[in-house]
Amino acid sequence: MEEVIIRPYSSGDRDSVRQIAYDTAFLGNPGSAFFDDQELLQDYLTSYFIDYEPESCFVAVSGSGVIGYIIGAKDPSSSRKGLGGRLLFKAITRNIIFRKKNAVFIFNCLKSFLKGEFKAPDFSRAYPATLHINIAEGFRNHGLGAKLIVTYLDYLKKEKVRGVHFATLSDRAANFYDRLGFVLLHKGKRSYLNNILHKDIFCYIYGKKLS
Ligand SMILES: CC(C)(COP(=O)(O)OP(=O)(O)OC[C@H]1O[C@@H](n2cnc3c(N)ncnc32)[C@H](O)[C@@H]1OP(=O)(O)O)[C@@H](O)C(=O)NCCC(=O)NCCS
């Protein structure tokens, strides 16, 4: 593989980061598997980080451009003023509910919610920071994910952040987080993708204390 550098995110990386976020949104595959509105899904996955706290974001760049990212937030309880309202407004004005795939997805999420599947302990006191990481297909398994995590953890330590936690639906990545010193804090069943995967999956919350 050609040389790859890890560097801080800059505004010129926005489209590439959003593209990778979409291309990996469904367990490492494109979000079109479960949702029919690329722009809204990209907003949902990335805006929270890159539009509000770009200084906590890093990218992996090769000759062909951005091939991976870690986007973070030092304290998720800090204000993301207007984000929820903006996403809801966009969802309504783009009539997303009237597209069959979206209606099914939203209905299934609602069912999961009513079954209590989204309930999880609040880890934000001991592990205030969070993260979202993805590597484009074709560039995985070359150590880039580990380098991005180490870069982000070093950054958080310099910023004197106590700890970091995040959620993932990927059971394949367990070894990866284990090796990087994360511990599994919580595991909860999710059934809202059953219509596509024909099985329940799990949401894993990992955490790591930094001081
Ligand atoms: C998970 C991921 C960020 C790891 O980055 P990476 O550069 O591939 O990882 P590294 O080369 O540093 O380490 C390899 C480890 O990554 C994990 N991994 C590799 N490919 C993976 C994939 N397609 N999906 C999930 N985890 C994967 C494995 O645990 C692997 O370790 P193993 O060989 O002992 O099983 C990256 O593979 C990825 O983006 N995967 C697809 C989407 C995803 O699962 N994102 C996680 C969201 S929290």
Could you read off the pLDDT of 56-91 as tens digits, one per residue?
999 999 998 999 999 999 987 677 888 999 999 999
pTM for this entry? 0.94
Using the atom order of ligand 1, give the atom closest to the CA of residue 144.
7
| Average pLDDT, integer, range 117-133 | 95
Domains of the chain are 5-209 (3.40.630.30)
Write the residue with the smallest CA distance to atom 12 of ligand 1.
143
Give the pLDDT band of residue 183 (cuts 50, 70, 90): very high
| Average pLDDT, integer, range 99-106 | 96
Q: Specify the pLDDT at position 174.
A: 85
From 172, 177, 184, 204, give the residue whose CB has the most ligand 1 atoms within 8 Å, as the site to mutate.
Answer: 172
Cβ–Cβ contacts within 10 Å for residue 181, how many? 12
**Three state DSSP letters for the chain:** CCCCEEEECCHHHHHHHHHHHHHCCECCECHHHCCCCHHHHHHHHHHHHHCCCHHHEEEEEECCEEEEEEEEECCCCCCCCCHHHHHHHHHHHCCHHHCHHHHHHHHHHHHHHHCCCCCCCCCCCCCCEEEEEEECCCCCCCCHHHHHHHHHHHHHHHCCCCEEEEEECCCCCHHHHHHCCCEEEEEEEECCCHHHHCCCEEEEEEEEECC
150 Cβ closer than 6 Å to some ligand 1 atom: no
Write the residue with the smallest CA distance to atom 35 of ligand 1.
175
Sheet architecture: strand order including 130-135: 5-8, 57-62, 65-73, 130-135
Write the residue with the smallest CA distance to atom 30 of ligand 1.
176
| Average pLDDT, integer, range 118-143 | 95
Structure confidence by residue, pLDDT tens digits, 28-50: 999 999 999 999 999 999 999 99
Q: Specify the pLDDT at position 171.
A: 87
CA of 171 to the centre of ligand 1 (A): 10
pLDDT at 113 over 80: yes
Q: Specify the pLDDT at position 64.
A: 85
| Average pLDDT, integer, range 113-123 | 95
Q: How far apart are CA 23 and CA 3, in angstroms?
A: 23
134 Cβ closer than 6 Å to some ligand 1 atom: yes
Structure confidence by residue, pLDDT tens digits, 165-176: 999 998 888 889
Least confident of 35-49, 73-87, 114-128, 180-194: 73-87
